[in-house]
Amino acid sequence: MARYSPSVQNLISKLGSLPGIGGRSAQKLAFFILSMSSEEADALTGAIVEARKLTKKCGCCQNFTDSDPCPICSDPKRDRSIVCVVETPRDVSAFERMHEYNGLYHVLHGVYDPVKNTNMNDITLTELFGRLTEHPEIKEVIVATNQTAEGNATALYIARLLGPSGIKVTRLASGLPMGSDIVFADDLTLASALKGRKQIGN
Amino acid sequence: MARYSPSVQNLISKLGSLPGIGGRSAQKLAFFILSMSSEEADALTGAIVEARKLTKKCGCCQNFTDSDPCPICSDPKRDRSIVCVVETPRDVSAFERMHEYNGLYHVLHGVYDPVKNTNMNDITLTELFGRLTEHPEIKEVIVATNQTAEGNATALYIARLLGPSGIKVTRLASGLPMGSDIVFADDLTLASALKGRKQIGN
């Protein structure tokens, strides 16, 4: 005998295919969804359908938006000479939360993975290079991909391809997080902090 | 400026209201759902709608099922003299996985919480007592609610109400989990294991 009815099993498997949702969470979510009132369930499925219908990618920065160009790309107060390349829309939100960056963005929707041999078109690299050609006012590209093997590979890949263009390619500094203890730092972070040490005082 | 467009913000908040989904997970899920192909997204919302449409509560044990009575309640090989009372459908699945229990179930869909003063009708207690009256062949009720304050309160509440009926009310043994180290046991578990100690050998 199957543990759950086919429709419940299907719901559990669909929920379990979402990122960060394991088998037990999927079961818990499925039974929660079954226990919801009709209004709550309709609001949930409605929110999915509505967000997918209204949301498109900005033709310029490729971030998700419901107006094209997005509010950031169409903001005249933004510095158009600098583009920060990030992996996901959530990274844009992290930068905006900081209130320290006034340039534009480019969302890759992924990273270049040399092992999987990601294609230029799997992430929005073609759009990035097209954009840099069309907008000669862009002088600097900050590659703010994650500090992972794939994030670093993406940064090197972009730097290599942009080499002849004369556009400055930079990478965010790596090192010890603010407020952190050296004792708890992993070796790679500590090595990177040592390598990037800066002179203080005179 | 809002961090995300209203429809995306709404999707994040609906996902964030699901159990075990925090703010960051909700953002991650929302952008994953936005990145899905139309087929995948339709399969997800379809699974929710379909499972909710096909699934009802079994008129006997109150478990979620797509046939009423459910496969367990309608199985002639089950022992009808014993009913195991659990909090959720997932508990039924845990018991069934064990292949050691052959009686029937009753799913409360919650617990009696003396602090919130849960009503008899908030959980399926009314259905339980009705069922016990209708089926005099039931001789034992195992209260297999969780080993929490609410789970214990529910067990005591059921035991008190069933006192005059002559139906035997039991509770699962509490103690050290199999394969566990005493060093890592919490005080309550250790105290419970000591109190429930059993003679071995002659």
Q: pLDDT of A154-187, one tens digit each?
A: 889 899 988 888 888 988 888 888 877 777 778 8
Across all residues in chain B, what is the average pLDDT? 88
Rounded mean pLDDT, A131-158: 90
> In one letter, which amino acid is B162?
L
> In one letter, which amino acid is A31?
F
Q: What local confidence, expressed as pLDDT, does residue B119 receive?
A: 74
Tell me the pLDDT band of B1, cut-offs 50, 70 and 90.
Answer: very low
In chain A, which residues have their Cβ closer than 8 Å to the Cβ of B29?
Answer: 18-21
Fold classification of A6-54 is Helicase, Ruva Protein; domain 3 (1.10.8)
In chain A, which residues have their Cβ closer than 8 Å to the Cβ of B45?
Answer: 45, 48-49
User: Bigger pLDDT: B134 or A191?
Assistant: B134
Fold classification of A64-171 is Dna Topoisomerase Vi A Subunit; Chain: A, domain 2 (3.40.1360)
Q: What local confidence, expressed as pLDDT, does residue A52 receive?
A: 94
> In one letter, which amino acid is A192?
S
Q: What local confidence, expressed as pLDDT, does residue A87 receive?
A: 92
Q: What local confidence, expressed as pLDDT, does residue B98 receive?
A: 82
Q: What local confidence, expressed as pLDDT, does residue A48 receive?
A: 95
Fold classification of B13-54 is Helicase, Ruva Protein; domain 3 (1.10.8)
Give residues with Cβ within 8 angstroms of B36, minimum separation 6. Answer: A52, B44
Across all residues in chain A, what is the average pLDDT? 88
Q: Which of A49, A55, A74, A111 to mutate to test the interface with B (most CBs of B within 10 A)?
A: A55
Is B31 within 8 Å of A97 when comparing Cβ atoms?
no
Burial class (CB in 10 A: 0-12, 13-18, 19+), A185: middle
- With contact defined as beta carbons under 8 Å apart, do A63 and A70 qualify? yes
In chain B, which residues have their Cβ closer than 8 Å to the Cβ of A55?
Answer: 5, 7-8, 34
Q: What local confidence, expressed as pLDDT, does residue B200 receive?
A: 67
Asked if domains B13-54 and B64-171 share a fold, the reply is no
Q: Render pLDDT for A17-33 as a digit per residue (tens, 0 to 9).
A: 999 999 889 999 999 99
Q: What local confidence, expressed as pLDDT, does residue A1 receive?
A: 43
- With contact defined as beta carbons under 8 Å apart, do B86 and B72 qualify? no
Is B50 within 8 Å of A10 when comparing Cβ atoms?
yes
Half-sphere exposure of B129 (CA within 13 A, CB side): 14
pTM for the whole structure: 0.77
Q: Render pLDDT for B61-120 as a digit per residue (tens, 0 to 9).
A: 999 998 889 999 999 999 999 999 999 998 898 888 888 889 999 999 999 887 887 777
Closest CA to B157 of B128, B191, B130: B128
Say whether pLDDT at B48 is over 60. Answer: yes
C-alpha A106/C-alpha A88 separation (Å) is 9
* Total residues belonging to chain A: 202
What is the chain B residue with the closest CA to A92?
A: B3
Q: What local confidence, expressed as pLDDT, does residue B106 receive?
A: 96
Q: What local confidence, expressed as pLDDT, does residue B173 receive?
A: 82
Q: What local confidence, expressed as pLDDT, does residue A67 receive?
A: 87
Q: Render pLDDT for B166-176 as a digit per residue (tens, 0 to 9).
A: 888 988 888 87
Q: Render pLDDT for B9-33 as a digit per residue (tens, 0 to 9).
A: 999 999 999 999 998 899 999 999 9
- Highest average pLDDT, of A53-57, A111-115, A148-152, A161-165, comes from A53-57
> Which sequence spans correspond to the domains of chain A?
6-54, 64-171
Coarse DSSP helix, strand, coil percentages of chain B, rounded to the nearest 5 percent: 45, 10, 45
Is B51 within 8 Å of A65 when comparing Cβ atoms?
no
Say whether pLDDT at B190 is over 90. Answer: no
